[in-house]
Amino acid sequence: MKSSLLGLLLLSSALFAVDGYEVYKKNCMVCHVEMMSKEFALKHFSELKAPPMVEVSARLKQNIKTTDEEDDVDRHLFILFVKDYISNPNLDFSMCNVGAIENFGVMPSLKGKLTEKEKQAVAEWVYDRYEDTHF
């Protein structure tokens, strides 16, 4: 009985799991290209709506670091930052370089458009998707 109940719980949680990549495709991909080289991005800079997501992830990882030796701490802080920034984008907290801010401005708020689970899922995806990937 316990094993069948546990199986049912795992199945139901899988059914209600949020896929970060799907959240990205639905909400972020309109502006943030998933992957491109730095050379391509610079060549087509004026055609982009926002920095490529690979650059966003790299820039955040570069700036959100602790002296803690546990990688999970940096990942956790990255996710917290992204979840907050999605709803509360602000020039004071932007980590884009000056040229990107001048060209793109600050992203529009998605406040009220994503659930907490969706924000969590997409933040995790942005971190994990570009692990060991350099812009």
* Region 62-73 average pLDDT: 84
Q: How far apart are CA 95 and CA 90, in angstroms?
A: 10
Please indicate whether residue 1 or residue 52 has the higher confidence score (pLDDT). Answer: 52
CA gyration radius, the chain: 17
More confident residue, 1 or 61: 61
CATH: 1.20.1630, 1.10.760, 3.40.50, 2.40.30. Which one for 18-129?
1.10.760
The Cα 111–Cα 132 span in angstroms is 30
> Do 114 and 19 touch, CB atoms closer than 8 A?
no
Pairwise pLDDT comparison (16 vs 24), residue with the higher score:
24
Asked if residue 132 has pLDDT above 90, the reply is no
- Residue % of the chain over a pLDDT of 90: 74
Predicted TM-score (pTM) of the model is 0.83
pLDDT at 7: 52
Q: Which residue shows structure tokens 């602790």?
A: 66
How is the chain split into domains, by residue range?
A: 18-129
Least confident of 3-7, 20-24, 107-111: 3-7
Is the pLDDT confidence value at 113 over 60? yes
